[in-house]
Structure formats: structure tokens, C-alpha cells
Amino acid sequence: MATIERRTFLKGTAAAVGLSLAAPFISRSYAQGSSGSVNIFAWAGYISDDLLAAFEKATGIKATYTPYGTNDELLNQMRASNGTGYDIIWPAVDRVPNYVEYGLIQPIDESKVQWDRVLGSAAKGSEKLGAVIGGKRYQVPTDWGTEAIAFDKTKFPLEYGVASYRHIWMPEAAGKAAVRGHSGLVGLALWLEKEGKLPHPFRDSFAKEEVMRANYDVVLAEAIARKRNIVQFWSNENEAQGAFRVNGAEIGQTWDSSAAALIREGLPIGYIAPVEGALAWMEGVSLPVGAKNVEQAYAFLNWMVTPEGGAMYANHTSINTTAVGAEAHLSDANRTFFAAAYPGDALEKLWWWPVQENWFVARRNEYQDKFLSA
């Protein structure tokens, strides 16, 4: 698949992209012949029964999967349990510093990671996106994806190079758009920035609170003035899909996996990166401080980045895997989806989420709540 094989998805980010990661070679038999169990707390829809069965067959380890719907739900659960109850969690890399600040996850033992299986640019890029803090790594990247524009192709026939976040907020989308509260404001901000309407570069909002407030005051006012466009707000996968499936949405910002699921159902939905850049995130495996089955957790991590494990994940979710060689095992449907979502130079223009420190998340949620309640 050309989209993934080009390996350009970290271009233009604040991350320093490397072509390889120097690390000791670990025997490929590491994750085999083991036993025991592992408790996984991961995003809803990420792990299929087939994937769990394949992992158990390959390793002898019984995996139990518990789903959650949002990054905030995961963080709140980990804070409530003081980092106990699970062996693996799956936070977005830009939120990893939140867990480190609260003492909820443990450093990764890099000697136990089969780095030859992980795409080198993802491993290197994750260092600057939040996975490495104070010289210690707290997450191994397993996947990356985007939030971009989903649209009903019969009502909003958008094409790459023209499609923009502005289409969500234009008068013709009144009562037809769906967005997630906080990231919908970001998409709007990127359009306003492109139009020269923000007082400061938008990325600086993540570094200084006074800059954040100055920019978000402008964005919030614009969002409230155009709120009539929103037919539904969503916060998780099921809500995003439901907006298009039953609640009348014809355009909006959704995750790649949300749009892909609707397409698999036969709905006339398209998904495409806008001219301002698709909002890109990276995720991966982190180990809570209270993990009890640590060796089994590393076994799961290393199996997830085999070509077969990575492809099973990607084919189930339509989210990109960081597993080297997985593209050879992708389904034709997912090859078609990825090619349509990221044509031309879309991968070079991805807008990668900066680290969202706890102060930023708190302020971000304030602005989101004002938007939702307006």
C-alpha cells in the first residue's frame, strides 16, 4: 500500500524523525511459549476476539480486554485506582506526560522490546510527541491515526485539495454537522489561522496559557456564532458513528475508524484529510505502575508489532499500525480506504497533536464546556 510504504507520516511535525532506532536485538521467540494472563485496558473497538485468540495461540497467554471511550475516561480510571487493575493501557502519546506527572505508569524496559519490529520513524518520532520524559521512555508506539473530515458523498462531494475544516462551519452545513467538542475547536482554529484571524500561532497555545486563552477566545466566539451547524456532538466511537447513521449528520470531524466503520456498512460516506492537515495522533502500550503480569504485558506488546498482529489490528480498526511488514497483510478494503483518505501530499501535511499538559487539558475542557453549553 503506497500510503503506508512511503513512511512519510511524521514529516512536518515537531518531532525529529529518524529512519531507524538503535536498540539491542531480542530473540523473536521472546513472546512464544509463555503462559499466564494479561489484563488490557484499551479503546473501545480496538481489539477483536480474533486478535485475542491469535495472541493466545501464539503465546499461550490468556488476554482479558476491557474497553474505554476517551482519553479522559482512561486517565480518570487510572487516577482512581492509583495505577492498578490492569497490565496494559493504551493512551494517546501526547497525553502520556499526564500519567507520568501523576505517577501512574512505569518506565518501559527497552531491553524487553523487540524494536526491530517497530517502524523506526514512529519509534524516534514518539520521543518528541510525549513517549519519552526525563530521558525515560513510557510508551512504545503501536499505531497512529487521524481525525479529519467525514462526509456524505451524495450531499457534500468533497475532494482532496479543496476539502477544508471550513466546510463544517459554512452556512450550507447548518443542522448537518457533527464534531467532538474540544477537537472541533481545534479544526476551527486551524481554518481561522489559515485565514489570518488568530492573534498568535495556534501551536503556541499548547506552550503558554496566556497565548492559549487569547487564541481560544477568538475560536470560541466563532464556534458559538456558528453553533447552529452542529446537529450532534460526539465524544466516543459509537456516538460519532450514530451521528451519521441515525441523527442526520452529513459532514463533520470524526476519527478514521469511525468513518471506515460506516463505509463498511455500505453508507455513502467519504473520509479525507483537509487542506489544513488531518489531526494526527499516535498511540501505544504503556504499563501502569500496579501491573501484576509484566512479562505477559511485554509479550503482548511484542506480538502486537509482528506483521500479523499489526495487520489484524489495522484490518479490524482501519487505523494504521507501526508494525514493520504489516502492509503485506492488509485487506483490499483498508488499502482502498487509506489511499482515499490520504492522497497526494496529505501525509506530509498531517497536523500532529502537541503534548497536552495537565494545565492545557483543564483550560481546553473549560472552553469546550462553554461551547457545549452556549
Single pTM value for the model: 0.87
Which structural domain range is residue 137 located in?
Answer: 2-144+280-352
171 and 255, same structural domain? yes
Among positive and negative, which fits the CA dihedral 337, 11, 164, 230?
positive
Return the pLDDT at 35: 77
What is the Cα 94 distance to its own chain's centre? 10
pLDDT in the model for residue 34: 65
pLDDT of residue 23: 30
- Whole-angstrom Cα distance, residue 318 to residue 324? 16
Check whether residue 242 and residue 367 sit in a common domain.
yes
Q: Are residues 238 and 307 in the same domain?
A: no
**pLDDT for position 37:** 97
List of the chain residues with pLDDT < 70: 1-34
CA 160 – CA 175 distance, rounded (Å): 24
89: which strand partners? 41, 286
On whether both 32 and 96 belong to a single domain, the answer is yes
Task: Give pLDDT tens digits for 286-331.
Answer: 999 999 999 999 999 999 999 999 999 999 999 999 999 999 999 9
65 shares a domain with 38: yes
Closest CA to 206 of 353, 11, 74, 371: 353
